[in-house]
Amino acid sequence: MLLQVPCVLDSEQVAHCRELLATAEWVDGSATAGSQSAQVKNNRQLPEQSPVAQRLQQIVLDALLRHALFYAAALPKKIFPPLFNCYSGSSNFFGSHADNAMRTHVATGYRVRSDLSATLFLSAPGEYDGGELVIEDTFGEQRVKLPAGDLILYPSSSIHRVEPVTRGARIASFMWLESMVRDNAQRRLLFELDMAIMDLRQQQGDSDTSIRLTNTYHNLLRMWADS
């Protein structure tokens, strides 16, 4: 499932993040790439343990866990601490690659199975040319370039790339998530059922039908979720 999650950060939060990033020291982004990805990765990234990165991580994580649509779609069990990258100048692309199945946080040993990947855009589309996130999967090729503050959520099993940035700078946060429900098809069914229940409740309130469907949703979650 590929899903746009709007307004994870509002305009004030985006502006605050950009102010912090303006003071940051960027390094070669290949430091966090796997052996295959490192051959096609050409961008800059914040060091994971830098003070600026840690402040930004908390802002993003707090916003994600308050966002109902994100939570319903991802059903997050673990979130790898968000990372931050910049595509500009001669460091301006990331060729086709696959994400590692397991991500390990070097400093803590914290390990996350990558069921879902996410990119949170911090630059507005008009600030740069190129830089589309291109995702290939069973749903076909999708080209993604979202407003600042919006997030794209997609299966980590997808092959994806970032097109060259030919003007300006594309700044974003990216992360991997381990879901309580590892199977993508099961997770999508739960999300669609959850959205349908919400629509039904808005139309009819807490009717007998919506209560029964809610019970079905939670029974399926009990059946499929990892503890």
Around 215, how many Cα atoms within 13 Å sit in the side-chain half-sphere?
A: 7
pLDDT at residue number 40: 86
Tell me if 70 sits within 8 A of 5, measured CB to CB. yes
pLDDT at residue number 118: 98
Collapsing DSSP states into helix, strand and coil, what is residue 11?
helix
Burial 4-16 (b: 16+ CB within 10 A, else e): ebeebbeeebbee
pLDDT at residue number 126: 97
Cα-based angle 172, 176, 180 (whole degrees, multiple of 5): 140
Walking along the chain (227 residues) 10 residues at a time, the average pLDDT comes out as 96 97 89 64 91 96 97 97 95 92 85 97 98 90 97 96 97 98 97 97 94 98 93
pLDDT at residue number 137: 82
Give the predicted TM-score (pTM) of the model: 0.94
Task: Kindly list the structural domains of the chain, giving each domain's residue range(s) and its CATH number in brackets, ordered by start.
Answer: 3-179 (2.60.120.620), 184-224 (4.10.860)
Tell me if 174 sits within 8 A of 156, measured CB to CB. no
